[in-house]
Amino acid sequence: MTRRTASALVGALVAALVLTAGCSSTPSPRSDAPAPETPSAPRTVVVTPVPVPPGVHLSFVQQRIDEGTRRAQVRVVNGTDHTLRVREVGVDWAAYPLALHRVDYPVHPGRTVDLRYLLPRAVCTAAAAQAPIGGVAVTDRGTLRRPMGDDGVRFLTRLRDTECAARRLDAAATLSYGETWRRGRRDGRPVLRGSLVLTRPAGRSAGPPLRIAQVDGSVLFDVSLAGDRAGRTLRARQRQVAVPVLVRDGGRCDPHSRGQSTQTFLFRAFLSLDGAAPVSRLAPPDRALQLLLLRFLDRACAGTP
């Protein structure tokens, strides 16, 4: 082989290697492709508290545990640079006439504090409902009167409307449980069959129609309406109607659920008067029915027919 031939052969081999490398299955990086991700530095989350607006502001709240009672709280927001010693608080509204409640509590600068308050009986007139709503706080620096905060207005309006609707319901009929309760089964589960009874006040045999729209039990007892819808209404010229209900265990038979339940018998009924929106009414069973329900729960949890 001559030197010229050997040089030509080496050149051909080099060209083939370059061509093979160019056809590799691994693509070359593109200039417009995103850069590979690299571990980022740890992030620090800083929570900035909502600043308290300047001055002193008053509002109204009611905790969930106090629903259905007159217990509530007047909210005091202290946006000043000094501590306020609050002696008394109250709601100033014609629908809830002012009745100051003693608290004696220091509210420090920049703090929001809910101070206990007991709502008076509502005034259920249209004029009272339309009156302006304010809050009052008697402090060591004098008596402060402020327009009620928007959240407080919503709370108070809802509570007043609920109380006045409940009074109309009570005037239309009383709600009680029937005396007869029977054990049975439905869909393979133990049930207790009974009734809720609507009764007109003594001396009245007629009035606006009243319908039981819904019932709620508790974490231990599932309570529901039974029978047809037509039988759930106390009609205008009826004095009494018994609405069938079913009670099942709530599926919480463990000792912890039973031992820690604090609202076992806080049942509710939702009543609609003369076609109006349903209003929630507490419907706790009496002591005798409570014992019957507990015996039913014992048998249901044990699988006893």
Alpha-carbon radius of gyration of the chain: 36
All residue ranges of the chain with pLDDT < 50 are 2-10, 12-35, 37
pLDDT of residue 14: 43
Strands 268-273 and 210-216, sheet pairing: antiparallel
How confident is the model at residue 40, as a pLDDT?
52
Burial zone of 292 (CB within 10 Å; 0-12 exposed, 13-18 middle, 19+ buried):
middle
Per-residue pLDDT, 49: 62
How does strand 84-92 pair with strand 134-139? antiparallel
78 three-state secondary structure: strand
Query: For residue 166, what pLDDT is reported?
Result: 87
pLDDT at 204: 84
- pLDDT of amino acid 258: 84
The answer to whether the beta carbons of residues 246 and 186 sit under 8 Å apart is yes
pLDDT value of residue 29: 45
CA distances, 44 to each of 47, 50, 88, 233 (Å):
10, 19, 43, 60
- What is the maximum alpha-carbon separation in the chain? 134
pLDDT tens, residue by residue, 190-249: 999 999 999 999 888 889 999 999 999 999 999 999 988 889 999 999 999 999 999 999
pLDDT of 47 reads: 54
pLDDT confidence of residue 256: 82
Per-residue model confidence (pLDDT) at position 87: 97
For residue 151, what are the contacts with CB-CB under 8 A and spacing of at least 6?
A: 59, 60, 61
Fold assignment, 174-302? Immunoglobulin-like (2.60.40)
Beta-carbon contacts of residue 222 (< 8 Å; ≥ 6 apart): 247, 248, 249, 250, 251
Q: Read off the pTM.
A: 0.65
Is the Cβ–Cβ distance between 137 and 89 less than 8 Å? yes
Query: In the CATH hierarchy, which fold is given to the domain comprising 55-171?
Result: Immunoglobulin-like (2.60.40)
Q: Rounded to 5 degrees, what angle do the CA atoms 226, 231, 233 make?
A: 115
Residue 254: per-residue pLDDT: 84
CATH 2.60.40.3970 domain residues, the chain: 55-171
Among the listed residues 148, 150, 139, 152, the one whose alpha carbon sits nearest the alpha carbon of residue 80 = 139
